[in-house]
Amino acid sequence: MEPEIYFGEMMLAAYEPDMDFFKGARQYEGKIWFSVIIDEFQPAGGNRRFAQATAKYFGEIIEGECEGTKLTSECIGKRVRIQRRIVLEEPVWMVVEILF
């Protein structure tokens, strides 16, 4: 029996080595990031403070805080790195790097 592995409130339920829809790795400080492909994009505006995108299996992703992590419509189909962050006291998936 494999040990249960927790990432904050999330638990790793199963490990499938042939899953190619995302890639993950450990960073320093024990933080986990995932590399995902952006499916859809919605710009900031109205009651939306941050630009948002969606990625398969992860759902809603918001743009990062740095200029190099801002989302645009050109990001659709591109790969980005995301991390779980707390924004306005809510956990969200946030872009930490745009990979081209």
User: In this model, does residue 3 exceed pLDDT 70?
Assistant: no
Which CATH number fits the domain that encloses residue 61? Answer: 2.40.50
Per the domain annotation, does 16 fall within a domain?
no
Per the domain annotation, does 33 fall within a domain?
yes
Residue 10, CB-side half-sphere exposure with 13 Å CA sphere: 12
Q: By residue range, what is the domain housing residue 48?
A: 22-99
User: In this model, does residue 59 exceed pLDDT 80?
Assistant: yes
Average pLDDT over residues 60-87: 92
Per the domain annotation, does 13 fall within a domain?
no
Q: Which has the closest alpha carbon to 92: 5, 3, 6, 8? A: 8
Residue 52 to residue 95: CA distance in whole angstroms: 10
Q: What is the pLDDT at residue 7? A: 53
Q: What is the pLDDT at residue 79? A: 93
Per the domain annotation, does 43 fall within a domain?
yes
What predicted TM-score, i.e. pTM, was given to this entire model?
A: 0.71
The first and second tokens of residue 90, run together, are: 């809510």
Per the domain annotation, does 14 fall within a domain?
no
Per the domain annotation, does 61 fall within a domain?
yes
Q: What is the pLDDT at residue 34? A: 87
Per the domain annotation, does 7 fall within a domain?
no
Quickly state the pLDDT bin for 48 (edges 50, 70, 90). Answer: confident
| Structural domains counted in the chain | 1
Q: Which has the closest alpha carbon to 84: 3, 22, 10? A: 10
Q: What is the pLDDT at residue 96? A: 92
Q: What is the pLDDT at residue 22? A: 47
Q: What is the pLDDT of residues 8-27, one digit of tens each?
A: 566 555 555 544 444 555 56
Per the domain annotation, does 10 fall within a domain?
no
